[in-house]
A = this chain, B = another copy of it.
Amino acid sequence: MVPHLITALTGPINELEQRVLESMPAIERWFRLEWMEHTPPFYSSVDLRNAGYKLAPVDTNLFPGGFNHLTPDMLPLAVQAAMAAIEKICPEAKNLLLVPENDIRNSFYLSNLATLVRIFSQAGLNVRLGSLDPTVTGPTELSLADGSALTLEPLLRTRGRVGLKGFDPCTVLLNNALSAGVPRSIEHLHEQYLLPPLHAGWPSRRKSQHFKAYEEVAKKFSKLLGMDSWLINPMFIPLQSADFSAGQGLEALQTQVDAVLSKTRRKYKEYGIQEKPFVVIKPDAGTYGAGVLTVRDAKELPELMQRSAWGRGPDGASAHQIVVQEGVVTHERVHDAVAEPVVYMMDRYVVGGFYRVHAERGVDENLHAPGASFVPLAFSQASQLPRPGEKPGVSAPNRFYMYGVIARLGMLAASYELEVTDPEAEVYA
Contacts and interface: CB of A to CB of B under 8 A. Distances in A.
Contacts of A86: 32
Given A83-B349, A87-B35, A92-B33, A76 B383 contact: yes
Interface stretch (A122-130, A157-165, A244-252): A122-130
A25 interface: yes
A161 B80 CA distance: 34
A385 B125 contact: no
A122 B76 contact: no
A25 B125 contact: yes
Interface string A181-213: 000000000000000000000000000000000
B385 A75 contact: yes
Contact of A24 (B73, B87, B122): B122
A386 B79 CA distance: 11
Interface size, A (range): 35 or more
Task: Give the one of A76, A92, A122, A384 with max B CB within 10 A.
Answer: A76
B33 A382 contact: no
Interface in A120-159: 121-126
Interface in A353-397: 380-386, 388
Copy number of this protein in the oligomer? 2
A interface: dominant SS: helix
A126 B382 contact: no
Contacts of A83: 28, 32, 348-349
A79 B385 contact: yes
Contact of A29 (B32, B124, B380, B381): B124
Nearest to A84: B84
B25 A126 contact: yes
A380 B382 CA distance: 10
A76 B382 contact: yes
Interface string A70-90: 001101110111011011000
A26 to B, nearest CB: 8
A411 to B, nearest CB: 15
A91 interface: yes
A32 B73 contact: no
Given A28-B124, A35-B87, A122-B385, A81 B80 contact: yes
A268 interface: no
Contact of A382 (B73, B94, B385): B73
Contact of A380 (B32, B33, B73): B73
A111 to B, nearest CB: 15
Contacts of A81: 80
Contact of A386 (B29, B73, B122): B122
Given A28-B83, A124-B24, A384 B91 contact: no
Contacts of A87: 32, 35
A182 B343 CA distance: 46
Contacts of A25: 94, 121, 124-126
Contacts of A123: 28
Nearest to A31: B124
Nearest to A387: B118
Nearest to A380: B73
Contacts of A388: 121
Contacts of A29: 92-94, 124-125
15 contacts: A24-B121, A24-B122, A24-B124, A25-B121, A29-B93, A32-B83, A32-B92, A33-B92, A76-B77, A76-B382, A76-B384, A76-B385, A83-B349, A84-B84, A118-B385
Closest 7 CB pairs of A and B: A28-B124, A72-B382, A29-B124, A75-B382, A25-B124, A25-B126, A32-B91
Interface of A: 24-29, 31-33, 35-36, 72-73, 75-77, 79-81, 83-84, 86-87, 91-94, 118, 121-126, 348-349, 380-386, 388
